[in-house]
Amino acid sequence: MNTINYNIKIESEKFGKLMDETFVDRTQFKLFLKMIHGCLELKNDLVFFNGDDFLVNIPYKYLSQSIILTTSKPYEFTEHVRSKIEALVTK
């Protein structure tokens, strides 16, 4: 089973890594990027809470001075399983 992992990193010169989040769902990734872009265009703080375990609050001042990097990498489940099995065999 092959999927694509989408990653977003927000790094600040002053604070270091502010966010490093990986998405499996392309639609959620696109929505999150559009939210960040909207915050930058409208000069709003980036505030997001998923209602469970993920809270982000980055003031616009620091968001606009940060570097935002996105990547997409293919992820093969078979490689993950193979590395786990190899680790068990070598023990």
| pLDDT at site 81 | 66
Range of the domain at 34: 2-90
| pLDDT at site 74 | 87
- Helix (H) or strand (E) run with residue 30 in it: helix 26-42
Name the domain count of the chain.
1
| pLDDT at site 50 | 86
| pLDDT at site 33 | 95
Residues in the chain predicted with pLDDT less than 50, given as ranges, are none
Q: Do the beta carbons of residue 48 and residue 55 sit within 8 Å?
A: yes
Residue given tokens 């909207």 in the structure block:
38
